[in-house]
Amino acid sequence: MAVRPRPHDGCVTATVATVRYVQAPQRYDGPGPVLFLAGGITDCPDWQSQAVALLRDTPGLTVVDPRRATFDLADPDAATEQITWEHAHLHRADVVLFWFAPGGSVQPITLYELGVHVTRGVPLAVGADPGYPRRLDVEVQLALARPGLRVHDTLAATVREAEELSSPGRVPMSGVHEA
């Protein structure tokens, strides 16, 4: 059984400074703005904790993190639950932050999710580490699908853009509720 530990307190909704933090598999149906942290988990560094730390002083923001405290990679029921949870919360988000971290994974699911959400029109903040092996693919595909959308080089710059996109008056606070 491959269980990955997580430095958070588990599957709880918590307030980190002025940010509301929601970790999978906890459901969130509350008010916005809601920012979903989309990006690699398996075989990727825990970039989500860094993003949450950078966002911790953003008043009124809810950050939704799909990286669980523990996750059994061998359990198909857990995988189904996770995929369903991510789908629902990605479609609930007012803003989606995509980060492509360097490491041992090309992050095919994240590439798929980016393709889906770039065409929905939801505000996106996208970044890809210069060491990410498919960075050029991300840049070219985004230039074709949503001209003018910048691909940031650092997580910090990507988080700053997500924070700006989440500010009052920038996004509808009702969220997007698609099936």
Distance of CA 132 to the CA centre of its chain: 17
Written out in words, the top-level CATH class of the domain with range 13-164 is alpha beta
Residue found by looking up tokens 């990679």 in the block? 73
Domain boundaries, the chain: 13-164
The length of the chain is 179
pLDDT tens for 99-149 read 999 977 899 999 999 999 999 989 999 999 999 999 999 999 999 999 999
- DSSP letters for 37-48: EEE--TTS--HH
Q: 25, exposed or middle or buried, with CB in 10 Å at 0-12, 13-18, 19+?
A: middle
Model confidence at 175: pLDDT above 80: no
Model confidence at 174: pLDDT above 80: no
Model confidence at 38: pLDDT above 50: yes
Better pLDDT: 73 or 91: 91
Q: Would you say 105 and 45 are in contact if contact means Cβ atoms under 8 Å apart? A: no
Q: Would you say 119 and 91 are in contact if contact means Cβ atoms under 8 Å apart? A: no
Residues 6+ apart with CB under 8 A from 100: 39, 40, 107, 110, 127, 128, 129, 132, 134, 135, 138
pTM, two decimals, is: 0.85
Average pLDDT over residues 155-160: 98
In the chain, the percentage of residues whose pLDDT exceeds 70 is 84
pLDDT tens for 10-37 read 444 555 558 899 999 999 999 889 999 9
At residue 7, the pLDDT reads 42
